[in-house]
Amino acid sequence: MTDREIKDMEYGAGVQLSPIATQLKESSIRTIANFGMTQPDVTPLWFGESDIPTPEFIRQAASDSLSQGDTRYTPNNGAPALRRALADYQRRLYHTPFDENNIVVTVSGTNAIMLAAQTCVSAGDKVVVITPVFPTLFAVPELLGAKVVQHPLIQVDNRFELDLDALFSQAKDAKAIIINSPANPTGWCASQQEVEAICQFARTHHVWVIADEVYARHTYESESAPSFCQFMKESDPIIVCNSFSKAWSMTGWRLGWLTLPKSITPTITKLIEYNVSCAPGFVQAGGLAAVTQGESFIEQSRERYTQARALVLKWLSDIPGTTLYDMPATFYAFLKIEGLGDNSQPYILQMIEKAKVGVAPGEAFGQGGEGHLRICYGCDLKRLNQALSQLRAYLIAHPCRNNEDESAILK
């Protein structure tokens, strides 16, 4: 059934589905993954998660909590002990004066983004989203009826950069800016000066900033990436979204948090009540263990990702017709393929069949992502080394050609 057929479908006495919901695009990443999962012996580099399991001390804390019967409702804005621990964690990293009253616990980083957007975005508002970016960040304001304007990063040699002047010109009449730094899929990371400048713009022009900092701890030059928490003031229109998923390998736990001005905490808390009610207590117990005991795990993970990044450079940095961008943060490589165009799915599907490696299509991440592939290198080093070797051989043997017929690619 086509999107148009779904849109036109009537239920009961002429009742239709929401046009905003029906017109949302399906994730092409999931399309690739669904196909890849049906093929034998494929190394999956398509999803944004590490294969490192959640550490045992986190699992044990949650298990103990569950065994003790921690299965009832919790406060809408999160368990007080976890909120205090998150405030202490951020004070240590960013020297911020914010306390637990600036922290709200959410059911995942995705839920954090939705709550932030629901707080400050209304139907018809203009929202500027810096791209390429994980599709949730432009889908959320679209679901709320906002007019989303994508602002692509610029490409300079083998790195991505943010044109601040162009961003500010485009956003001066916007209701909000959504920024993901460090960024999925590019690995780009805003500098401290850029973060500070955006904070100043927000307070001067009364534009909200929703900052997704899920990958803040996945940097290679410092303990943490520059954060909006370092510069935001209590009165600033800034909301910082974070998650336990990446730093502590807790993707399936669905736990996140917001850092925000105290004045809007009551509004967010009400939204949580009407969205998800609260995060489970035993899951928050695991989060408390992560944030209070997890620094050594983060450091060990960073060491492995550093080795993995070196393998990416070894295998993919010098292939004719491609550009491998700098990787200052995250566990993603973003690879530009000359001639790939704006529909890389046929090329990737063939890659899965012939090279036994699956990656994510760049166009899934919005403007600036077309013609690229995203490779998640957060997997076992031995397996990654073999997969990258196979990927290199495939890219060399199957160069793209501009305007090549898609049916020919699949032959």
Alpha carbons 17 and 165: distance in angstroms, whole number = 40
Q: What is the pLDDT of residue 136?
A: 95
- Whole-number average pLDDT of the chain: 94
- Could you read off the pLDDT of 146-202 as tens digits, one per residue? 999 999 999 999 999 999 999 999 999 999 999 999 999 999 999 999 999 999 999
Q: Where are the domains of the chain?
A: 3-53+297-394, 57-294
Confidence (pLDDT) at 405: 41
* Topology at the third CATH level for domain 3-53+297-394: Aspartate Aminotransferase, domain 1 (3.90.1150)
- pLDDT of residue 403 exceeding 50: no
Q: How confident is the model at residue 3 (pLDDT cuts 50, 70, 90)?
A: low
| Predicted confidence (pLDDT) at residue 10 exceeds the cutoff of 70 | no
Q: Encode pLDDT of 225-272 as tens digits.
A: 999 999 999 999 999 999 999 999 999 999 999 999 999 999 999 999
Question: What's residue 267's pLDDT?
Answer: 97
The answer on pLDDT for 396 being more than 50 is yes
Report pLDDT digits (tens) over 58-93.
999 999 999 999 999 999 999 999 999 999 999 999
pLDDT number for residue 80: 98
Residue 178 host element (H or E): strand 176-180
**Type of residue numbered 394:** Y
User: Which pLDDT score is estimated for 407?
Assistant: 40
Confidence of residue 406 (pLDDT cuts 50, 70, 90): very low
pLDDT band at 14 (very low <50, low <70, confident <90, very high): low
Q: What share of the chain is helix, strand, coil (3-state, %, to 5)?
A: 45, 15, 40
CA-closest candidate to residue 188, choices 176, 196, 180: 180
Q: 23: which 2 tokens?
A: 């017109």
3-53+297-394 and 57-294 share one fold = no
pLDDT of residue 208: 98
The pLDDT score that the predictor gives to residue 20 is 87
Q: Does residue 12 surpass a pLDDT of 60?
A: no
Q: What is the CA radius of gyration of the chain?
A: 21
Between helix 265-275 and helix 109-120 the angle, nearest 10°, is 120
Q: 110: buried, middle or exposed (CB in 10 Å: 19+, 13-18, 0-12)?
A: buried
Structural domain 57-294, CATH architecture: 3-Layer(aba) Sandwich (3.40)
pLDDT band for position 22 (cuts 50, 70, 90): confident
pLDDT tier at 24, thresholds 50, 70, 90: confident
Q: What is the pLDDT of residues 335-383, one digit of tens each?
A: 999 999 999 999 999 999 999 999 999 999 999 999 999 999 999 999 9
What pLDDT is attached to residue 1? 54
pLDDT computed for residue 23 by the predictor: 85
How many whole angstroms separate alpha carbon 150 and alpha carbon 128? 6
Say yes or no to pLDDT of 410 above 50: no
Is the distance from CB of 217 to CB of 250 less than 8 angstroms?
A: no
What is the Cα–Cα distance from 396 to 400, expressed in whole angstroms? 10
Helix axis angle for 28-36 and 345-355, nearest 10°, is 20
Residue 408's pLDDT is what? Answer: 39
Residue 207 confidence (pLDDT) above 80 = yes
Query: Can you give the pLDDT at residue 2?
Result: 58
Helix (H/G/I), strand (E/B), else coil: 151: strand
pTM score of the predicted model: 0.93
Written as six digits, the tokens of 191 are: 């500098």
Spatial distance between the Cα atoms of 99 and 88, rounded to a whole number of angstroms: 8
pLDDT in tens, 319-335: 999 999 999 999 999 99
